[in-house]
Amino acid sequence: MPTQAPSENAKQEENIAFKVPDKGVFVSEYNEQIFRATRMPETVKILDTTLRDGEQTPNVALSIDDKLKIAQALDELGVDIIEAGFPVNSEGEAEAVKRIAAAGLKSEVCGLCRASKLDIDAALTCDVDSIHIFLATSKVHLEKKLKISRGEAVEKAVTAVQYGKDHGLIVEFSCEDGTRTDLEFLNTVHKAIEEAGVDRIDIPDTVGVMTPQAMMQFVSEIKKTTKVPLAVHCHDDFGLSVANSLAGILGGAEEVHCTINGLGERAGNAALEEVVMGLQAFYGIKTRINTRKMAFVSRLVSQLTGIAVQPNKAIVGENAFSHEAGIHVHGVLSESSTYEPMRPEIVGKERVFVVGKHSGVHAVQNKLKEYGLDLTGDQLKEVVARIKKYAESGKKLDDAELLAVAYDEISEEKEPVIRLEEFTVFTGLNFTPTATVVLNIDGDVRRASETGVGPIDASLSAIRTAVSKNIVLKQYRLEAITGGSNALCEVTVKLGDCEDSQLLALGKSVGSDIVTTSVDATVEALNRLWMHKLGANGDKVKRKAY
């Protein structure tokens, strides 16, 4: 998993400027005809509320440092406004907002406030550029939650907006639960706050109860009586937040509230990545977002919040550009637009071919090529048949297992060349872990001892010393299969050769002792690497790979 944003900028301009349907997005022509007939803004502002509504996701709590990291990533991503938090909520929250406001970001930094001086003062202390004031206006919220009259609500709203403007802030205002507020009263509040100098008005679908058709109509009605720019803030309770956000734009809004990965209260908010790609791909509407950084920011937010992105999520999900079915893999390899509506690099992703039950020869061939293996047509057919057989018995093969099948198919050498004859390891407290291995490499007995930070490290070092220092450990994965201290573990080891980057081999072993299981997996990988280095069928004369 990359931990750094891709080091590019060169394509940024082209990316921001791209129009339907060229530059790697392949939407339907029918869609295009419809959108050309619709009135839309040229650009849309993105307010990202990952750090506010997103942080209100159940079980999410971010440290101040994490918030700062996310804010910096959002700034680089190109969001126009960062809603950094709710300063009055706690000292820690205020501190985070303060540090984000002081970080010298290009984005406007905004603090959330209720319609009260206390809240606005807290935001002022943080030195934010703007505040987002919210006050519920629907009947149920006024009567059951706030217990105030409509008249009192208007007064509170106006007083708060005036207070913010008197202190030199940019003020955005939300009538909370706006989509369940009657339109006439909503317009009354909007008119009053416009007179008080509000800069932007947001229309929140607080509990996600609109349809796209209704949202478009609702926003266009509001647009008739307001002068300041409108925003929409949609929740995903019915899975319509992105559709409703796009509909809000078609209705005349010029700003969208979104979160990375669609985090947010309950079912979440509209996902930034989906809204931005939807605006660009379907309507040719530009935003300042550098879409090539979206996958990176998505991963960062997922890591820091601990909320995994569902694999089948649009745009940034692990499967968004993965192909398994044989027909699809064949299609994508010939021309990606057959089964991909956009090129993965546009959103910072890579295309992945997964080998499984639905795979055909092309996917398997492609996957084996990643490991430098070139099989004949007959061999490939045999490997595919075996994979399907495994899959039908409910077993999904990972890369290591696929390679094991492939090697078994191509190798005449059924016995391993390298065998582990002896293995000892010592470890303990205040003791340097030390391992000794004796390997028999086709009759040549090699012995080596090494120390390491732990018993596995010492063992793998000893194996390298015995065979060759050119061998590098590329990946080590340990998984517990069952629970308890007597659990079975599964170890996957990926080895490479520092002189030949094409040489890669995987080994996998299951056992109850993590050290011996690791050693077994390594010896298995080593045998494959050895065979690989000699050529798949082994060089009968020149038997020494290392």
Q: Which residues bind Mn ion (CB under 5 A)?
A: 53
Query: To 5 degrees, how large is the angle CA 153–CA 155–CA 161?
Result: 100
Residue type for position 427: T
**Which residue carries 């990643």 as its tokens?**
370
CB of 146 to Mn ion, least distance (A): 17
Measured from the CB atom, is 53 or 75 closer to Mn ion? 53
Instruction: Label residues 455-475 b or e (16+ Cβ within 10 Å = b).
Output: bbbbbbbbbbbbbbebbebee
Query: Taking each helix axis from N to C terminus, what angle separates 514-534 and 399-410, rounded to the nearest 10 degrees?
Result: 50
Residue type for position 197: G
The residue with its CB nearest to Mn ion is 53
CB of 234 to Mn ion, least distance (A): 9
CB of 174 to Mn ion, least distance (A): 9
CB of 210 to Mn ion, least distance (A): 13
Measured from the CB atom, is 53 or 345 closer to Mn ion? 53
CA-CA distance, 215 to 249, in Å (whole number)? 9
List the structure tokens of 386.
């075996």
CB of 233 to Mn ion, least distance (A): 6
Contact 444, 420 (CB under 8 A): no
Measured from the CB atom, is 52 or 367 closer to Mn ion? 52
Measured from the CB atom, is 209 or 488 closer to Mn ion? 209
CB of 278 to Mn ion, least distance (A): 19
Q: In sequence order, which residues have a C-beta less than 8 Å from that of residue 339 and are 6 or more positions away?
A: 323, 328, 331, 332
Measured from the CB atom, is 53 or 236 closer to Mn ion? 53
Residue type for position 14: E
Q: Where are the beta strands (DSSP E) in 365-499?
A: 418-428, 431-441, 444-451, 471-480, 489-497
Q: What is the DSSP letter of 338?
A: G
CB of 335 to Mn ion, least distance (A): 41
Measured from the CB atom, is 47 or 505 closer to Mn ion? 47
Measured from the CB atom, is 203 or 506 closer to Mn ion? 203
CB of 130 to Mn ion, least distance (A): 17
SS3 string, 93-155, reads: HHHHHHHHHCCCCCCEEEEEEECCHHHHHHHHHCCCCEEEEEEECCHHHHHHHHCCCHHHHHH
Measured from the CB atom, is 53 or 80 closer to Mn ion? 53
List the structure tokens of 305.
């919040």
Measured from the CB atom, is 243 or 460 closer to Mn ion? 243
CB of 56 to Mn ion, least distance (A): 8
CA-CA distance, 422 to 253, in Å (whole number)? 72
